[in-house]
Amino acid sequence: MESTSVTDIRFDPKHFDCLAVAKALAPLAAQHADYAEEHGHLHDEVVTAFQQSGLYSVNVPDEFGGVSPSPRAQCEAIIELSKADASAGWCFMVSTGFNWQVGRDFGKLAMGKAFADLSAHVTGSFVPAFMGMPVDGGYLVTGESGFNSNVYRSGYKVIVALINDGSKPADISKGEVPPLRAMVVPDSDCTVVQNWDVIGLRGTGSNNVRVANVFVPVEHTVDIVSHVHRKPAEFANPIYRIPYIPWTGFHTAAVLIGVAERAVETFVKHTSSKIMLTNKLQSQATLPSTKAAIAEVATWVRSAKAHLLFTADECWDICQQGRDFTQEEEAYLQMAAYHTSEQSVQVVQKIFTVCGAAAISRKLPIEKLLRDVMSAQQHLSVSPDRSKATISRRLLGLARESHQPFD
């Protein structure tokens, strides 16, 4: 099969249309989806296309050559790529998320390093699996973290370290958490441990990253807990005013809704062409149970997507005003991410069930879509139990607990 041509897609920050670029690259992502599934990472052609098109420049500060599409535009682009291949959508989502975090929280020296080459994306993991020993001018860091999505061909990685400061040890028995610092580390200081062997999102290349006795200058680190709760007024760019965890949930939910939309399209096509002996040699689509199922899942997808995008627009309005989000408004953001994710999973599960034995065949994408959507919902930002706890805390006006700094 010939590759989809992307040679005419070049990044122009003055005329960048996030959704249009995603639509243009979606066929390429779909074309190489089987490769990603088999090899555990995106095809080089897909990564190159993401690089040259500017997708890896989303949420990079303007002064470093990046662009800041609206929350709606970003979600729509993630949805479009995830319909083609959930792993491609996920990798785009993760890189925009780390661009956002570095651009929002780190100083100019760190950003100058991380964003020096926008074709080499930023990736990493929020798993605090590193130990940082304070030394003169910075930290000596060692450890190994999991879930570093889109790990290959990145320029810098974000890691999170527990700071081992013997002079001020944390008393864990009292609920104290050791100091946490996020750090940007060049790819050359990292070793990728190829251990990504999972049931879903197999093409994301979310391998472990190991760092051994690496010096990280203090200028390349931030106190992550204090930065999570910075006030919107501190940021000139509205995109950085979005609350931390709900924003991550928005991006993650967009992947799930893209998978669900693909599942509905597959469902309609499959049931329309499947002739059943038990249905008088008519298509499965003519069965009352199939008709009811299609009506249900199509409604669920449309309502969930509308909820996500409507709330994205509400969020953007508040960001442009520059005011603080109320507790209730933050709850609305998390509600949208949680509801969209939960509905997306239910859509794919329903389709898998109604399709019967055909759904377990690898000839149909339904089994892969189920594996992908179930895996995506495991992400902390949209997991059901944590989402409901976060939503209820805000609606009830309860204080954030010290042992949950990212809530």
Over residues 151-188, the pLDDT tens digits come to: 999 999 999 999 988 777 777 677 677 899 999 999 99
pLDDT, one tens digit per residue, over 6-36 is: 656 789 989 999 999 999 999 999 999 999 9
Q: How confident is the model at residue 284 (pLDDT cuts 50, 70, 90)?
A: confident
- The phi and psi torsions of 21 (rounded to 5 degrees) equal -65, -45
pLDDT, one tens digit per residue, over 346-398 is: 999 999 999 988 999 999 999 999 999 999 999 999 999 999 999 999 999 99
- Mean pLDDT (the chain) is 93
Q: Which residues partner with 117 through β-bridges?
A: none
3-state secondary structure of 266: helix
CB 185 within 8 A of CB 219: no
Compute the distance between CA of residue 86 and CA of residue 84 in angstroms, rounded to an integer. 7
3-state secondary structure of 283: strand
The H or E element that residue 159 is part of is strand 156-163
Q: What pLDDT sits at residue 5?
A: 55
Compute the distance between CA of residue 59 and CA of residue 237 in angstroms, rounded to an integer. 10
Contacts of residue 241, defined as CB under 8 A and 6 or more positions apart, other chains included, come to 232, 235, 318, 319, 322
Residue among 365, 308, 364, 371 at smallest CA distance from 345: 371
Output the CATH code of domain 122-223: 2.40.110.10
pLDDT, one tens digit per residue, over 310-343 is: 999 999 999 999 999 999 999 999 999 999 999 9
Give the residue ranges of DSSP H helices in 235-323. Answer: 244-273, 288-321
pLDDT, one tens digit per residue, over 97-144 is: 999 999 999 999 999 999 999 889 999 999 999 999 999 999 999 999
Q: What pLDDT sits at residue 201?
A: 99
CB 113 within 8 A of CB 156: yes
Overall fold of domain 13-114:
Butyryl-Coa Dehydrogenase, subunit A; domain 1 (1.10.540)
Q: What pLDDT sits at residue 279?
A: 62
pLDDT, one tens digit per residue, over 68-97 is: 999 999 999 999 999 999 999 999 999 999
Q: What pLDDT sits at residue 4?
A: 42
- Structural domain boundaries in the chain: 13-114, 122-223, 234-396
| Class in CATH terms, 234-396 | mainly alpha
In sequence order, what E strands does 219-316 have? 221-223, 275-276, 282-283
Contacts of residue 179, defined as CB under 8 A and 6 or more positions apart, other chains included, come to 162, 163, 165, 170, 223, 225
